[in-house]
Amino acid sequence: MQGSKHYHDELAKCHQRAADRILQGCLSNGGLYIKMGQGLASMNHVLPVQYTETLEKLHDQALVRSGDEVR
């Protein structure tokens, strides 16, 4: 039933699994995907907390590149 605690718990688990997959996809692909993930992380007014908290890691753990690599 939609209003039950079990429903909300299962929905939260589903959101967390999806957020974890998105995070791994962003980290695996790098570049623009990390920027998109960072943008999603800031959408706490739209997305469930599982997404925003998980994707916040992209702000701190983004891949570091040297200036020579970028050029």
Q: CA-to-CA distance for 18 and 30, rounded, in angstroms?
A: 18
DSSP category for residue 53: H
Give percent above pLDDT 90 in the chain.
Answer: 76
Other beta carbons less than 10 A from residue 35's beta carbon: 13
CA distance 8 to 5: 5
Chain mean pLDDT for the chain: 91
pLDDT score, position 3: 81
Residue among 47, 45, 55, 50 nearest 15 (CA): 50
